[in-house]
Every structure is written in structure tokens, then in C-alpha cells.
Amino acid sequence: MKVAVVILNWNGQRFLEKFLPSVIDCNSYFSEIIVADNSSTDDSVLFLKKNYPLIRIIQNHENGGFAKGYNDALKVVNAEYYILLNSDVEVTPGWIDRLIQLMDSDHSIAACQPKIKSFDNKHYFEYAGAAGGFIDKYGYPFCRGRIFDTLEEDKGQYNDVREVFWATGACLFVRSELFHLVDGFDEDFFAHMEEIDLCWRFKNLGYKVMYCPDSSVYHVGGGTLHKSSPMKTYLNFRNNLILLCKNLPPQYFFLKLVWRMILDGVAGLKFLIGGDFAHFTAILKAHFNFYCNLKTTLKKRSALKTKIKKYTSTALYLHSILSDYYLRGKKTFSEIDKEHRFL
């Protein structure tokens, strides 16, 4: 099979009912469509068996989150390309074609993403991915079309094919051979930022991650964890530390990691002063978990180092996006892009 569209589901029957028809109707590549169910407790599996008997279902034995859920499922999926698609995404005609053509044209492309727009406000980019992901020198992720909570209207300003630092897990096109070469997602992430870690590992092996604007999909977002959830705060802060610890080049390792810890402390203090004890506690727990598992993370770093001939930071933003956004008033990607601060 050339392409397999794999939808990871956990208690998402309402999303399958709403969005699976668009995936089937827009299947121009005659891709195999698979739903990998993460041990749902709703009627997702029964709904699929009754209404879509031809769709392959992979039933995982536990809810191992995004990372383990996909790792387990993709062990038994045979295709040249995987498209990892969130269940809360509406696709459009031709959404697969141009990205596969782009990846076919350059075998150094490991992963790619389409334009991600908001399902609820289709003229605007969506938070998780927008027009391709980047990360600044302290590990803060942002996107073309979305910096922190500022979402841009899509006016065609990001209609160019471009190398990015990371591609979103909401709709991730990935070369299967390379996915398995790097051992897939890091299951310790559980959910959130595992796709950034995967893309960084690709880049450190000399491969590219691309954004292609010739395909658009519409993402609801927050289907499993809303951005206001303390659990989401915990995962984002913990996983960001793991991400940096594993992948930073040796010359930046200590300094950048310490600076990130200081900035996390500032964020925690802001939550505390604002009376948001749940998110303050989430940051404390994130750091505690990171320190307790530091030995394991450093072992992973050492294992990765043996595969890396040269650390690659293409598309890394060399400045602080926090400083640009809050102190310099740069709210859009276009404003910082013209200053040429990307590797």
C-alpha cells in the first residue's frame, strides 16, 4: 500500500461520526483507512463495525496516549507513507495528493504537514500546527500563523512550500521507513510535543520536515485535553524539558536547559500570583517528574548521540519568541520572519 491513513481514537465516537465521512469521500489516493482505538470505553468500536465494516480497526489493549497508541498500531501497518490524522479533523478534496507528490520528489523529506485551519472559524489558522511549526532557542514552540494565543487569518501569506522545524501530529505525513528507523514516538511523552521530538530526531539525522500549503484541513482542537486543563500544562512543561534534554546540541545543552528551567519558574510564579494553584502545581509536578526520570532521559540522549554525525538545527529560531511577543510586540510570524533570524 502506498498510503495508510491512521486515525487514533479514544472515546471519540462523536468525532468519528462527524469527520470520518470526509476522510472516506476525499480518499483520492485510494489509501487504506485505519482506526486505531486506544481502548475506548464509549461505543466507538461498535459504531465503526456497524456503520463502516470495511474500515480496518486496530484495537490497542490500553490507552497509552498518542505516542504509544500510534507506535503499537503502526507496527502492523504496511505502507510507504503513514498519515497520522486526528479524529477531530475535516479533510478536503485532494488533501493527500500534493503532499505525497512533494515527498516523492525528495527522499530526504521525512515528514510533512498541510495547512491546518480552524474548523470553527475556517478563515483562521488553527492552534495546533497552523502553517508549520518552529521552536526558539529556549524550546518554545510556535507556528507560522500562530504565536502563543494570537491566531492569524489566512490571507495567503503562508502559501509557500517551506522547510519547518516540526510538523503537527494533528495531520502528520511521515515516511514509514524513517518512522521505524528512529523507533517512532517516544512513549514517555504520552501526549503533546512527541511530534516535535520525532521531527527533531529526523533533522538530527539530516532529513527535512516540510510544510505544503496546497492542501488544507480543518481541526477542531482540544478534543482530548482542552488547553485550560492542568493536565495539559503538566504534559507541555514536562515534555518540553525532556525534548530539550534529549535533542539539544552539546554546546548549548547546559545553558539552554537551565534558562528554560528559570523561565518555567517565572511562568509558575505568574500562575501563583494570579491564584491559579492548579496550573502552578502542574508545573511543579512536571519538573519533579523530569528530575526523577533524568537518568532515563540522559540514556536516551546518549543512544541518540551514537546515530548523529552532525547536529542539524535547520529552521531553528535563534531568538526568544517570548521576548519578541511580549516585549517587542511582534505578534505574527511575518514580523519576525523578515528579520532573518532563522538557521
Terminal alpha carbon distance of the chain: 36
341 touches 317 (CB < 8 A): yes
φ, ψ of residue 31 in degrees (nearest 5): -70, 155
Residues 208 and 196: their CA atoms lie apart, in Å, by 13
DSSP assignment of 108-134 equals: TEEEEEEEEEESSSTTBB-TTTTT-EE
Q: Count, in order, helices (H) and strands (E) of the chain.
A: 12, 13
The per-residue pLDDT of the chain, averaged, comes to 93
Tell the residue number behind the cell numbers 516585549, with chain if given: 327
pLDDT of residue 338: 85
CA 262 to chain centre: 25
Ranges in the chain, pLDDT < 50: none
pLDDT of residue 258: 93
pLDDT of residue 305: 87
19 touches 48 (CB < 8 A): no
φ, ψ of residue 331 in degrees (nearest 5): -100, -15
Residues 104 and 257: their CA atoms lie apart, in Å, by 37
pLDDT of residue 237: 96
